Amino acid sequence: MPTPIQAILIAGTSHVGKSTLAEKLAERLGWNGLSTDKLGRHPGRPWLGVPAPVTEFYERLTPETIHWFLKVHHENMWRQVRPMIEAERAAGRRFVLEGAALRPEYIAPLLTDEMVGVLLHADDGFLLARMRAAASYEGRDAGERRIIDAFIDRSIRENAALMAASQEVGLRMVDAADAHAVAALADELVERAAG
């Protein structure tokens, strides 16, 4: 009989549905629901009261540099995230952890029969539409749209990088645009947690 899972790690780029899936799983399982999002500061979604330094970050840097900074931010955050995972496991708590900082190359070495990981991904069009809707893109002026577009470009680049890394390390990938696949994943994880 397989060992019941004790922890679930959900990786993926911005707006791919990590938080939604993690919240549903935590609720269904009665586990702790955790996120990496509040562990560190990085210029995030530039559409809710954007501070001047965030505007400057997205306006002045090249797309490649913006994405590079994101990877460095995740590398720095991992110094907090890994001890958090280890502390939860040492305390015997069952949990669902989601976050953009859960890069495949970081989490793959931690996975066991008891701790599983998955990358949510989606095609560029799905991500573009979801982020533009969240940003109320159509109602924005040209300057605001440029900043939003820079963030979307960063997220799409990150999606491709995470998919490539997942293929390299053998991390399971699920298409977030396929509602049936995401629902089937949730059902499977709940069943595996029950043993």
Element (H, E) at 174: strand 172-175
Share of the chain above pLDDT 70, in %: 97
Distance CA 115, CA 111 (A): 5
16 in a structural domain: yes
Question: Residue 193 has what pLDDT?
Answer: 93
Residue 102 in any domain: the answer is yes
pLDDT of residue 8: 98
Could you tell me the CATH number of the domain that includes residue 145?
A: 3.40.50.300
Residue 1 has pLDDT above 70, yes or no: no
State what percent of residues in the chain have pLDDT above 90. Answer: 87
Mean pLDDT of 117-146: 95
1 in any annotated domain:
no
In-domain check, residue 101: yes
Q: What is the dihedral of CA 68, 71, 76, 78, to 10 degrees?
A: -170
pLDDT at 48 over 80: no
Residue 142 predicted with pLDDT over 80? yes
Residue 2 lies inside a defined structural domain of this protein:
no
pLDDT-based confidence at residue 38 (cuts at 50, 70, 90): confident
Q: Which domain holds residue 80?
A: 7-194
pLDDT tens-place string over residues 145-181: 999 999 999 999 999 999 999 999 999 999 999 999 9
pLDDT beyond 70 at 127: yes
Look at residue 85 and tell me if it is in a domain.
yes
Spatial contact of 121 and 163, defined as CB atoms under 8 Å apart: yes
- The pLDDT of residue 109 is above 90: yes
Give kind and range of the element (H or E) at residue 25: helix 18-29
CA distances (Å), 44 to each of 2, 13, 17, 102, 176, in order?
A: 40, 12, 16, 16, 21
Please count the structural domains in the chain. 1
**Average pLDDT, rounded, for the chain:** 93
Lowest mean pLDDT among 20-29, 47-56, 88-97: 47-56
